[in-house]
């Protein structure tokens, strides 16, 4: 038993030494190949430079593309969830209008939800459709009533004029926050009055005071919502103090949205009130399905760009490697006469190709980082906010995606080099030695 173990160890050592010598030989030959100042390199040298440039450009485009898509999706999600929250808790009925049935704000299940570790913040709201009527203009709006528990940090970043309404529990505030879209349509400014009519029996009217103007570039929200004291909506609807449209729930991790929504649905589905009503949890992906479906489609663009860039870079590398092999036919012939087999020769040229690919990728990473940092800092590339919801192209770097793209590009290009390297075995030694 000990004898067999010693023989196995000796075999492994000898085999490892043999591999080490072969690798040393291949490494030495590759270093010789890298010297491109000879007359025979007049065609392969510029072709290799073109291959390096193609790889650098392709990798830079891939890295920039995925950074833009990640940044774009993150910015849009942050805006949508900042405006509407991650989850809505509303009445479990079939009403899909803004004139909703109320839920009880003091339901016992709400306290349980607030204590869940996934929940970041929860705030009540109420909605009421209305019409702004000026002397010559009309504008349909949705009055969104908010309370003192409202987190105004999102709107604070998007207020362009004035300030956020001051709310208290002791009195009803007449202050409202309108969007820049509505202000421009109706030629309104901070300090103006906002006469708003509500179509009910009897028709009611409120003359609000504009204290702030916001602009989120989310036109489907900006042209609709006006923020006011929730007590106005409660009185207009004839609701009690503990009756609201629903709760906006913010969670700590958007990746756990589906899981948290399912948990809230279990908690609220059987929590019936005295009038036999209950709540349902609606995620932001369902409230804004079109936007989130559109964001998911952006991934397809990235996949297409990555595939095309790898194919283009790989084609350049294949051409460069074939030219290099053809210019090194005499060199190949000498190695074959010295006993080098086709597998060794293939490894030599594949390793040489790997060094060329590495050079191109290093340059591509540098170019990609510089361009991404320039866009992140100075925003030179602008967007039409009306179509893209953002005023400039957003970028965001994900280290895991960055590493994955580099590994994927390197492995794909290296695998593509196997095909041209096999051309070495197609040329007989006698024919090779006739090359001058």
Judged on CB neighbours under 10 Å (0-12, 13-18, 19+), 368 is buried
Distance between CA atoms of residues 72 and 60, nearest Å:
18
Mean local confidence (pLDDT), 24-31:
55
Least confident of 7-21, 42-56, 365-379: 7-21
Q: What would the mean pLDDT of 5-24 be, rounded to a whole number? A: 53
Residue 17 or 392, more confident: 392
Q: pLDDT tens-digit profile of 188-205?
A: 999 999 999 998 888 899
Residue 13: the pLDDT is 57
Q: Tokens for 263?
A: 């948990």
pLDDT at 92: 86
Give the mean pLDDT of 8-29. Answer: 54
Residue 14 burial by Cβ neighbours in a 10 Å radius (0-12, 13-18, 19+)? exposed
pLDDT for res 332: 67
* pLDDT above 50: residue 246: yes
Burial degree of 412 (CB within 10 A; 0-12, 13-18, 19+): middle
CA distance 281 to 269: 9
What digits encode the pLDDT tens for the residues 317-350?
888 877 777 776 666 666 666 666 777 777 777 8
- Residues 149-165 have a mean pLDDT of 95
Strands 138-146, 225-229: pairing kind? parallel
Mean pLDDT lowest among 145-149, 165-169, 203-207, 428-432: 428-432
* Model pTM score: 0.81
Could you tell me which residue, 210 or 25, shows the higher pLDDT? 210
Higher pLDDT, 80 or 33: 80
Residue 404 pLDDT > 80: yes
d(CA 117, CA 255): 15
pLDDT at position 335: 67
pLDDT at 435 over 60: no
Largest CA-CA distance found in the chain, in angstroms, rounded: 105
Q: What is the mean pLDDT of the chain?
A: 84
């Amino acid at each position: 038993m000990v004898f067999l173990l010693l023989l196995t160890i000796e075999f492994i050592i000898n085999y490892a030494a043999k591999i080490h010598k072969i690798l040393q030989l291949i490494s030495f030959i590759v270093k010789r190949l890298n010297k491109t100042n000879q007359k025979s390199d007049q065609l392969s040298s510029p072709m290799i430079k073109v291959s390096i440039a193609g790889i650098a450009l392709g990798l830079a485009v891939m890295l920039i593309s995925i950074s833009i898509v990640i940044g774009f999706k993150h910015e849009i999600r942050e805006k949508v969830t900042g405006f509407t929250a991650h989850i809505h808790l509303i009445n479990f009925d079939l009403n899909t209008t803004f004139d909703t049935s109320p839920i009880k704000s003091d339901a016992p299940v709400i306290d349980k939800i607030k204590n869940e570790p996934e929940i970041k913040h929860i705030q009540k709201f109420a909605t009421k459709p209305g019409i702004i009527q000026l002397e010559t203009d009309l504008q349909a709006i949705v009055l969104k009533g908010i309370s003192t528990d409202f987190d105004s940090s999102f709107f604070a970043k998007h207020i362009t004029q004035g300030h956020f309404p001051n709310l208290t529990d002791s009195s009803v505030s007449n202050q409202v926050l309108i969007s820049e879209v509505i202000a421009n349509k109706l030629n309104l400014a901070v300090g103006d009055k906002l006469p708003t009519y509500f179509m009910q029996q009897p028709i009611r009217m409120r003359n609000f005071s504009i204290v702030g103007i916001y602009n989120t570039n989310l036109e489907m929200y900006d042209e609709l919502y006006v923020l006011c004291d929730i007590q106005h909506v409660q009185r207009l609807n004839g609701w009690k103090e503990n009756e609201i449209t629903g709760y906006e729930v913010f969670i700590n991790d958007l990746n756990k949205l589906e899981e948290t929504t399912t948990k809230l649905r279990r908690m609220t589905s059987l929590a019936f009130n005295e009038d036999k009503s209950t709540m349902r949890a609606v995620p932001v992906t369902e409230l804004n399905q079109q936007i989130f479906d559109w964001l998911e489609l952006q991934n397809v663009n990235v996949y297409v760009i990555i595939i095309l860039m790898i194919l283009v870079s790989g084609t350049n590398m294949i051409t460069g490697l074939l030219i290099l092999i053809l210019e090194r036919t005499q060199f190949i012939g000498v190695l074959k006469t010295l006993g080098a087999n086709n597998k060794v020769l293939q490894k030599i040229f594949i390793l040489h190709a790997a060094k060329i690919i590495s050079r191109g990728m290093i340059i591509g990473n540098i170019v990609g980082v510089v361009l991404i940092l320039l866009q992140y800092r100075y925003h030179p590339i602008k967007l039409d906010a009306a179509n893209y919801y953002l005023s400039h192209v957003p970028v965001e770097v994900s280290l895991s995606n960055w590493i994955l793209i580099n590994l994927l590009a390197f492995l794909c290009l290296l695998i593509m080099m196997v095909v041209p390297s096999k051309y070495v075995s197609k040329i007989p030694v006698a024919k090779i030695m006739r090359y001058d």
